[in-house]
Amino acid sequence: MTVEKVVQIDKLSFSYPDGTQALKDVSLEIAQGEKVALIGANGAGKSTLLLHLNGIFCRNGRVQILGMKLEKRNLKFIRQKVGLVFQNPDDQLFCPTVFDDVAFGARNLNLLEEQVTQRVTRALEAVGLAGFEHHSAFHLSFGEKKRVSIATVLAMDSEILVLDEPTSNLDPRGKKEIVQLLRKIDGTQIIVTHDLGLAKNLCDRVVVLSKGKKVADGNTEEIFHNQAFLESHGLA
Ligand SMILES: Nc1ncnc2c1ncn2[C@@H]1O[C@H](COP(=O)(O)OP(=O)(O)OP(=O)(O)O)[C@@H](O)[C@H]1O
Ligand SMILES: [Mg+2]
């Protein structure tokens, strides 16, 4: 039986309008249920790659999600399947209240409002923010905003979770809780992190980007064991 590939990227290159080439010929396949850590030094292209997974950047048909080409007519479907947590929560949160932010994606799934409320309650509990429904995200601390960002995708029950530094700025307990939470979720996860301990803890597979190129893809233990390799890519 062949394992279903939920993400297929074929030689993806991407340059920003100012000419900065952020990705060079990156190919990547991820099977259903895999938990993959995406690591690399600052500026390696990690966030740029993630932004291609739900069509924020939509280029030259080189990305497929669940067998669907990432192009305009498929965006609605793909955005229901891929829950993306941005690196910066200010890019994610734009509603007047925490409730509305967390409900936003779930409302797009055409659920009954009662089901949406249940999902929001459950997601906020999971990130340790029960009772924050009526706060304005604008006034929360950075770490609290990060938790709300994670709650927005939890409430969507997305098949593929894509998280850009989910534990940055979280306090130690918050970090532990997010790790425990992610471990309990069965679906496919792609996690960008600078925390190698977290990567090791959650992911059997690691992909390393360096200056826009994929320079390693394999077993986490093996890659992390190679100190010289990590050092040469600014990771140790
Ligand atoms: N909007 C933009 N315009 C021009 N260049 C950009 C833009 N966003 C990112 N870049 C550049 O693209 C490259 C990749 O950036 P990206 O944000 O993907 O890196 P990253 O691996 O996520 O880094 P970090 O660990 O700091 O989050 C960098 O050289 C960066 O300066
Ligand atoms: Mg980044």
**Residue 42: its pLDDT value, please?**
97
**Which of these CATH numbers, 1.10.240.10, 3.40.50.2300, 3.90.1170.50, 3.40.50.300, describes 5-232?**
3.40.50.300
Q: How far apart are CA 37 and CA 189, in angstroms?
A: 8
Q: pLDDT confidence of 110, banded at 50, 70, 90?
A: confident
Cα 172 to ligand 2 centre (Å): 21
Q: Is the pLDDT of residue 2 over 70?
A: no
Cα 234 to ligand 2 centre (Å): 15
Phi-psi region of 55 (alpha: psi -120 to 50; beta: other; left: phi over 0): left
**Residue 60: its pLDDT value, please?**
67
Reported as type and span, the H/E element at residue 50 is: helix 46-50
What is the tens place of the pLDDT at every residue in 20-73? 999 999 999 999 999 999 999 999 999 999 999 999 998 767 999 999 999 889
Virtual torsion, Cα 212, 216, 218, 224, nearest 10 deg: -110
The pLDDT mean for the chain works out to 94
Q: Is the pLDDT of residue 192 over 80?
A: yes
Q: Which atom of ligand 1 is nearest to the CA of 212?
A: 14
Q: Is the Cβ atom of 21 under 6 angstroms away from ligand 1?
A: no
**Looking at ligand 1, which residue's alpha carbon is closest to its atom 17?**
47
Q: pLDDT confidence of 112, banded at 50, 70, 90?
A: very high
Domain boundaries, the chain: 5-232
